[in-house]
């Protein structure tokens, strides 16, 4: 099915308006000329033309229904823009491949392929061709603006740039891996130090608890000592009283009741003294 089933064109002296029919979207995948818009899905874009200079564009149409939903139809066309009576036009009577019969250009999915010296130069990036190249360059090749040597040179430059990008990505990956390794070592060290700190905190808590217990025991011993000293003083006082009583009543026999009481008090006190 030809492109004019999906898009319409409106030419003027210096440009051509490319519009999607119905509610569909149109996108310019590649071009040999300047375009305005068309770099993403939209209803239209404009090609900027120079009189009598043929151009090539690659257009992808995404069909949508009245609700804007994707219908499952997506078509890509390689279109040649020519000139007649100072007005650009598109020849819909033939399947355009190039403005020269020895230049083999073909649509591949949504991308563009060119066969040059037995090698495939493609705008795809899935490693399906021999060389990767941008669609704009292939459109210029199809429009006879550049030759095969230029295509090869551009492809070489792209390959070198990609190689550099891959190298930088690998270096970044290596540096990231090394940084992650260092970070892992540092984290392990931090974890170990935290475990050691936690263990020391437990030891300190145990020591503090032991000190607190010892302090309480010391307080209890001090209280016991104070009690013992107090009882000792009481016993000493009682003994002094007994001495006085005995001195005053040494001729009296049997021992008076008062002396007996004092002696009992002394005996009781003696039982309470520390052993």
Q: Report which of 227, 226, 228, 259 is spatially closest to residue 244, judged by C-alpha positions.
A: 259
- The yes-or-no verdict on residue 65 having pLDDT over 60 is yes
Mean pLDDT of 242-264: 60
Virtual CA dihedral for 31, 37, 39, 41, nearest 10 degrees? -120
Domain shared by 126 and 232, yes or no: no
Domain shared by 240 and 106, yes or no: no
Domain boundary (131, 146, 161) is at 146
Least confident of 34-38, 159-163, 187-191, 258-262: 258-262
CB contact at 8 A, 116 and 106? no
- The yes-or-no verdict on residue 53 having pLDDT over 90 is yes
DSSP β-bridge partners for residue 197: none
Tell me if 199 is assigned to some domain. no
| pLDDT value, residue 1 | 47
Q: Which carries the bigger pLDDT value, residue 145 or residue 99?
A: 145
| 81 backbone dihedrals φ, ψ, rounded to 5° | -100, 120
Tell me if 200 is assigned to some domain. no
Q: Report which of 69, 59, 141 is spatially closest to residue 105, judged by C-alpha positions.
A: 141
Domain shared by 138 and 225, yes or no: no
- Global pTM? 0.64
Tell me if 197 is assigned to some domain. no
Mean pLDDT of 166-187: 90
Domain shared by 39 and 136, yes or no: yes
Tell me if 263 is assigned to some domain. yes
| pLDDT value, residue 257 | 61
The 10s digit of each residue's pLDDT in 183-224 is 999 999 899 889 989 988 898 888 888 888 888 888 888 887
- The yes-or-no verdict on residue 251 having pLDDT over 80 is no
CB contact at 8 A, 91 and 80? yes
Q: Report which of 70, 87, 88, 71 is spatially closest to residue 79, judged by C-alpha positions.
A: 88
Tell me if 62 is assigned to some domain. yes
- The yes-or-no verdict on residue 70 having pLDDT over 90 is no
Domain shared by 11 and 118, yes or no: yes
Q: What is the DSSP string of 3-37?
A: GGGTEEEEE-SSEEEEEESTT-EEEEEEESSEEES
Q: How many domains is the chain partitioned into structurally?
A: 2
Domain shared by 16 and 131, yes or no: yes
Query: Cα 215 vs. chain centroid, distance in angstroms?
Result: 55
| Domain of residue 118, residue span | 3-146
Q: Report which of 205, 53, 273 is spatially closest to residue 144, judged by C-alpha positions.
A: 53
Mean pLDDT of 228-252: 67
| pLDDT value, residue 225 | 77
For residues 125 and 243, give the distance between their C-alpha atoms in angstroms, rounded to a whole number. Answer: 122
Domain boundary (121, 146, 171) is at 146
Report DSSP state, residue 155.
H
| pLDDT value, residue 147 | 94
Domain boundary (126, 146, 166) is at 146
Domain shared by 17 and 137, yes or no: yes
The 10s digit of each residue's pLDDT in 25-39 is 999 999 999 999 988
Tell me if 94 is assigned to some domain. yes
| pLDDT value, residue 125 | 76
Tell me if 153 is assigned to some domain. no
The 10s digit of each residue's pLDDT in 76-133 is 999 999 999 999 999 877 777 788 888 889 898 888 999 999 999 999 877 677 889 9
CB contact at 8 A, 122 and 131? yes
Tell me if 188 is assigned to some domain. no
Domain shared by 142 and 226, yes or no: no
- The yes-or-no verdict on residue 42 having pLDDT over 90 is no
Mean pLDDT of 167-173: 91
Query: Cα 232 vs. chain centroid, distance in angstroms?
Result: 80
Domain shared by 142 and 29, yes or no: yes
């Amino acid at each position: 099915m030809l492109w004019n089933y999906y898009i319409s064109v409106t030419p003027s002296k210096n440009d051509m308006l490319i519009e999607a029919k119905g509610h569909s979207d149109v996108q310019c995948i590649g071009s040999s000329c300047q375009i305005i818009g068309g770099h993403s899905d939209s209803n239209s874009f404009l090609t900027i033309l120079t009189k009598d200079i043929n151009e090539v564009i690659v257009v992808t149409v995404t069909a949508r229904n009245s609700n804007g939903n994707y219908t499952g139809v997506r078509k890509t066309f390689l279109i040649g823009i020519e000139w007649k009576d100072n007005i650009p036009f598109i020849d819909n009577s033939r399947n355009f491949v190039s403005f020269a019969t020895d230049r083999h250009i073909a649509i591949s999915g949504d991308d563009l392929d060119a066969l040059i010296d037995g090698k495939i130069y493609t705008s795809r990036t899935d490693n399906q061709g021999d060389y990767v190249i941008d669609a704009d360059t292939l459109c210029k090749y199809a429009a006879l603006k550049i030759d095969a040597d230029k295509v090869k040179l551009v492809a070489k430059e792209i390959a070198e740039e990609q190689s550099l990008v891959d190298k930088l990505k690998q270096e970044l990956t290596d540096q990231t891996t090394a940084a992650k390794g260092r970070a892992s070592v540092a984290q392990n060290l931090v974890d170990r130090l935290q475990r050691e700190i936690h263990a020391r905190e437990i030891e300190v808590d145990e020591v503090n608890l032991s000190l607190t217990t010892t302090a309480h025991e010391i307080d209890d011993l001090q209280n016991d000592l104070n009690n013992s000293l107090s009882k000792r003083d009481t016993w000493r006082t009682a003994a002094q009283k007994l001495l006085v009583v005995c001195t005053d009543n040494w001729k009296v026999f049997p021992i008076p009741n008062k002396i007996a009481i004092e002696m009992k008090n002394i005996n009781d006190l003696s039982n309470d003294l520390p052993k």
